Amino acid sequence: MDDSIINRVLRFGTADIQEDYLTTIRETAAGYVREIFRILREREYNPALMRLHVLGGGSCLIRNFGEYDADRVTIYDDICATAKGYEYLCEMALRKGGGVHAT
């Protein structure tokens, strides 16, 4: 199967393929997302006590295949959100100290 078909299912939840293939991809993606949430819970994520903010490439997986309370999870669709956040941090560092230093 062409990677573009798998990517389409992961990004949009569907593709123009036979139902058995679509079901297999969806079930695999849903299992992967369940594992993400299991690991988050291991690290003390508790949706009753905190909100979850998801951004980057995994956001479409969470949105399309996750089981979560939409009122407690915010999904940012902007694929540049992480880069914009680092850009903002650099701007703040420049304003504060006049430079950015590599460590």
**Residue 11 structure tokens:** 């990004």
Cα–Cα distance for residue pair 63/79, rounded to 1 Å: 14
Cα–Cα distance for residue pair 18/50, rounded to 1 Å: 40
Condensed to tens digits (0 to 9), the pLDDT of residues 12-36 reads 999 999 999 999 999 999 999 999 9
pLDDT of 102: 56
Structure letter (DSSP) for residue 77: -
For residue 91, give every residue at least 6 positions away whose Cβ sits within 8 Å of its Cβ, in sequence order, or none: none
The arithmetic mean of pLDDT across residues 81-99, rounded, is: 84
pLDDT of 100: 56
Cα–Cα distance for residue pair 72/48, rounded to 1 Å: 8
